[in-house]
Copies of this chain bind each other. A is one copy, B any other.
Amino acid sequence: MPQSLDEVRYELALANRMVAHEGVLDAFGHVSMRHPGDPNRYLLSRSRSPELVEPGDILEFDLDSEPVAPPTVRLYGERVIHGEIYKARPDVTAVCHHHAAAFMPYCVSGEEVVPVYHLGAVIGAKAPFWDQRDDFGDTNLLVIEPEEGASLAKALGPHWVVVMRRHGATVAGRTLQEVVFRTIYSCRNAEYLTQAKLIGIPSPLNPREAERAAEYNLAAGPVSRAWEYWSMRLAKAGGTPPRATKSTRSGARSGARSAAARSKSPRAAKKTAKKGRR
């Protein structure tokens, strides 16, 4: 992998901002990436709205979702979503967890999200539905404990999108660009499916169509064309992430420290860090 870790952190910050800017993420949700040099680690921001993530916010975690360096900042409560999927799926290199408006009617009604157009084929043949109650009964609807993450990863199985009851969805990809592409176009697909249900009876792509269209659209050409487009839109809105400054270049830890310095609740962050999970 020729990219420096600094470059990777920049790309991941960009991905978080891009997906947020396209309306899929808001104050919540996150995009992560497997560590390019160590498959037993992954990269994820400290707890912060995705449209604000900077390269210096990106920290390293092991696959149990424990931070590699002692954190001095607040961490996302739901990072086990990422860790458990990387553990269960060696072919997955990037993960996005979101609560997009497009998916919510499906999370809330239990109706199935099926691919209905060529770009929606990136969902794959099936998007399984995860009902947390099957394993855990009544919960706070979040995915905080490792076993909750593992249950979700199991529900995802060999697929690429899992719909989470009354919560949102989680999307996996073989590359960072792919997970961004799949996240955004699966939302578009869900929107069109909803609209089509209002005026007629949509039927899903058949398996052969779904497979062929996914293969075409997930090639480097379409995926990088879309990446350029979303980058441009983000840039026009003044949302491009800053390049890491010298002081944050020496690694995740110093980046985290400088982030902590900016944080308004260092006490809360410390308490969190001690608890090891929040």
Contacts and interface: CB of A to CB of B under 8 A. Distances in A.
Interface of A: 26-28, 47-49, 51-52, 74, 77, 99, 101, 104-111, 116-119, 121, 138-142, 166-168, 188, 191-202, 205-206, 208-209, 212-213, 215-216, 220-222, 224-226, 228-230, 232-233, 236-239, 264-265, 268, 272, 278
Copies per complex of this chain:
4
B117 A167 contact: yes
11 contacts: A27-B222, A27-B230, A52-B229, A101-B195, A105-B195, A108-B116, A109-B200, A117-B168, A118-B140, A118-B167, A121-B141
Contacts of A278: 221
A193 B213 CA distance: 29
A49 B209 contact: no
Majority secondary structure of chain A interface residues (helix, strand, loop or mixed): helix
A212 B52 contact: no
A226 B104 contact: no
B108 A212 contact: no
B188 A101 contact: yes
A275 to B, nearest CB: 11
A141 B209 contact: yes
A278 to B, nearest CB: 7
B74 A221 contact: yes
A27 B105 contact: no
Given A104-B117, A140-B209, A111 B236 contact: no
Nearest to A215: B140
Nearest to A165: B117
Contact of A225 (B27, B101, B199, B272): B27
Question: Which 10 A-B residue pairings sit nearest by Cβ, starting from the closest?
Answer: A109-B200, A49-B229, A140-B212, A27-B226, A104-B192, A118-B141, A105-B195, A27-B229, A138-B208, A108-B196
